[in-house]
Every structure is written in C-alpha cells, then in structure tokens.
Amino acid sequence: MNLHEYQAKEVFRQYGIPVPKGIVAADVPAAAAAANQLGGSVWVVKAQVHAGGRGKAGGVKLARDVETVRAAAQGMLGQRLVTKQTDAAGLPVERVYVESGSEIEREIYLSLTLNRERGRIALIASAAGGMDIEEVAAHTPEKILTATIDPAAGLQPYQCRQIAFGLGFKGKQVEELQSIAMALYRLYLEKDASLVEVNPLIVTKKGALVALDAKINIDASAVFRHKDIAAYRDPSQEDPMERRAAEHDLNYVSLDGNIACMVNGAGLAMATMDLIQLHGGTPANFLDVGGGATAERVTAAFELILSNPKVRAILVNIFGGIVRCDLIADGIVNAVKKVGVKVPVVVRLEGTNADKARETLAKSGLAITPASDLTDAATKVVGLAK
Ligand code: GDP
Ligand code: MN
C-alpha cells in the first residue's frame, strides 16, 4: 500500500525526522489559505499522487507569492498527472500539499528497502540525489552506497557513519544523518514498510538536513495491524479494476496486453502468462480465482475481465483439483448471459467434473474454442487475438 507524500511526512514527524512545514489542501482557496497560514515568502505546491517523477511532470511548483500558489493549485487540482512512473492515463490530483519553500545546498538520496537476494534490509544512499537517481543507478552504480543490515543487530551507528562519510558529511551533519537513518529504520520495522525513501534529503543553505520528499510503501498484507496506516488509504489512486477485484476477494493484477486470463492457482496463472508470451501474445491481466471459487465468484471474475476494453480474446485455464470444473463452467455461462461476450473464448478445463463442465459449455450455445492442453490453448488464443 502506498502513502501520499503528505501522509508519509506526518509519519516522519512522529519519528522526529525533520520535514518542512506544510498543509494539505483539496481546493484552490484552501491552498491559498495554507500559504498564508504557513507565512514566509516562498512556497512549494506539490501534487499528491501515488507516483514519483512529479517534479519533471509539472507536479511540483515553486511560488514566491500567494497568487502563484493559487495558480499552481488551480493548474493541478482536478487534473490527471502523468509522470515517468504512471501509465499514459496518469493519476488524479485530488489534493495538493503546500509547503514552506526550502533553500537547497545539496540533494542526497536515502532509502531503506528489502534486498531480496540477501534477505536483509538495506540502507541505500547517494550523493547524487534528486530527480535523476534512476539515471545514476543505471549509468554510475558506483555512486550508490549500501549498508546491509543484520536483522539481529539492527542498523549500527558505524554503518550510518560510513554512509555519512561516503556522502561527504562532517561533524554535526554526520550525527544528523545517523539519527535520521536510525529513525527511518525504526519506522520501517514498526510500520511493516517495504520501502521508505527520501529523495531528496537536502542540506539547506544553513547546513541542516531536511527530508524534502517522502515515500513510504507498506506491506499490504500487514496493513490490518496498523489502523493509522489503513486510514491513509486513497482509493482514487488505485487501479479501478484491481479495486473491484479486491471487493470479490480475487487476486487480480492489471497488465498492458490484450489477452485476458482466468486461471485457478497463482502458479498456474503465472505459467499461463508465460505461455501466452512465449507464443507471441501479451496478457491483459493476472487473475487467480482461487481454490475455493464459487459460481458467484467466477461470474464476478469473468465480468471483471470482460469489462476491460483492451481485451481481444479470453483464455480460461482451469485445473480442477479443489475447485470443480462444472462450477467454473456455470460461472462462465452466468457471466456471459449477464454481460454478453464479443471476443473469442478459449477454454482448457481438466480435473474434477471436467466432462460435466464441457457438457455445460457445449449446451450453452456460446462460441467457445476448446483446447486440449496448455500449449494448444496458448497457440489458439494468441491466434484469435490477432
Ligand atoms: P518528485 O519529482 O515527485 O520526486 O518530487 P520531489 O518532492 O522530490 O520534488 C522534485 C524536486 O523539486 C526536488 O528534487 C527539488 O529539486 C525541487 N523542490 C522541491 N521542494 C523544493 C523547495 O522547497 N525548494 C526548492 N528550491 N526546490 C524544491
Ligand atoms: Mn522526489
């Protein structure tokens, strides 16, 4: 689960991590009022979306008077922001964060995330922070500093000092970096985060370290343990198809292709997507209807994949072990009766009650292409999608 920047900064404040003063606003008058309330003479207006890369996409605007704050908020609110990290449709901007402007001397990159290969949390830093960190990682990886954290010992002061020296810090700044890194580590563990990122962590003209941007991802499976985090959820930033799927307890992930898949079991679903790709097609989604699927759930699942306008063909791949094939067939027939189907459907059903399922589908009068095995199914559906 993603947090907005303004929410992540609230969490940072709870952990004593220095952030600029800021107020979130949902309309233009509130943005202007926020600037007045903050006072000072420089503000930054920041679009609140679940994506980075806002600076380069017009989602971060510096303002030297309240009129400019108003204009920046007017330009962002109610629009969709497209950044390098969103798809072509972008994400809706329902709120802006109005912040007191900072004077920047240096921009540092600092983050904590899980290194899956090592099975440990890593503290990652770079002196080349700011908006081009992806370029730095791709072309000059030696500029990225890493400390791998022993889970039993936790983040050690010497590791923070090593990183601080690597970033060129001296004296009091070394201590400040250490206390920020330690606080981020505590936050990471206590909130069940999968990523905590500060880019940039700035050194102000006065030499203080301040988190200018804040990104927190929380492990979705742990959100139930954190009521404060759960309250931060913003459905407007979620994929509408994935949201509907969650309401029906379906494991669904939207993808860019045009072949919809309905499969039981996550492993079989992955294998099915691989086979579609292998035979020259592209999957429109990952969908695992699960082992305990009911006819209602299958109907919901089928309706869901049918509602994607990009879909040119559907592949149903069911191996009935726990789930019964006839039940799946009933679900398909129900869904098609309810919403109609204008694209070819390839079905591969094996296992419990497969014969009964084939009979149901044959009698339904639907134009279904049966497939005898996985390769046959993938070849047929890729051909039909073209
Ligand atoms: P992102 O592009 O979505 O990662 O948004 P950031 O919050 O990181 O902002 C992008 C860039 O805007 C930063 O790297 C800074 O260079 C600039 N920026 C943000 N806030 C301020 C500020 O208070 N003062 C100044 N001078 N620049 C800022
Ligand atoms: Mn940033």
Dump pLDDT digits (tens) for 26-80: 999 999 999 999 999 999 999 999 999 999 999 999 999 999 999 999 999 999 9
Low-confidence winner among 238-242, 338-342, 359-363, 368-372 (lowest mean pLDDT): 338-342
Per-residue pLDDT at 324: 85
Q: How far apart are CA 161 and CA 165, in angstroms?
A: 6
Active site residue 5: no
Q: Which atom of ligand 1 is nearest to the CA of 5?
A: 7
44 pocket-lining for ligand 1 (C-beta < 6 Å): yes
Per-residue pLDDT at 4: 98
Q: How far apart are CA 247 and CA 110, in angstroms?
A: 36
Q: Which residue has the tokens 């082992």?
A: 291
Start-to-end CA span in the chain (Å): 36
| Structure-token pair, residue 371 | 């497939």
Average pLDDT, the chain: 94
| Residue boundaries of the structural domains of the chain | 1-19+103-235, 21-101, 239-385
Residue of 109, 188, 232, 252 marked active site: 109
Instruction: Give nearest CA residue, ligand 1 atom 17.
Output: 55
Q: Which CATH class is domain 239-385?
A: alpha beta
197 pocket-lining for ligand 1 (C-beta < 6 Å): no
Res. 294: pLDDT tops 80: no
| Structure-token pair, residue 8 | 């992540």
Per-residue pLDDT at 10: 98
Q: Which CATH class is domain 21-101?
A: alpha beta
Q: 213 CA distance to ligand 2 centroid (A)?
A: 5
Q: Which residue has the tokens 């600029």?
A: 20
Residue of 99, 176, 197, 252 marked active site: 197
Torsion angle of C-alpha atoms 333, 335, 338, 340, degrees rounded to 10? -80
Q: Which residues keep their CB under 5 angstroms from ion ligand 2? A: 199, 213
1-19+103-235, what's its fold? D-amino Acid Aminotransferase; Chain A, domain 1 (3.30.470)
Task: Answer whether 106's CB lies under 8 Å from 202's CB.
Answer: yes
Give the model confidence (pLDDT) of 2-16 as tens digits: 999 999 999 999 999
| pLDDT band for position 297 (cuts 50, 70, 90) | confident
Per-residue pLDDT at 289: 87
Res. 353: pLDDT tops 80: yes
What's the whole-number mean pLDDT along residues 247-267?
91
Task: Give the DSSP letter of residue 119.
Answer: T
239-385 has the same fold as 21-101: no
* Amino acid letter for position 13: R
61 pocket-lining for ligand 1 (C-beta < 6 Å): no
**How distant is the alpha carbon of residue 156 from its chain centre?**
30
Per-residue pLDDT at 239: 86
DSSP string for residues in 240-305: HHHHHHHHTT-EEEE-SSSEEEEESSHHHHHHHHHHHHHTT--BSEEEE--TT--HHHHHHHHHHH
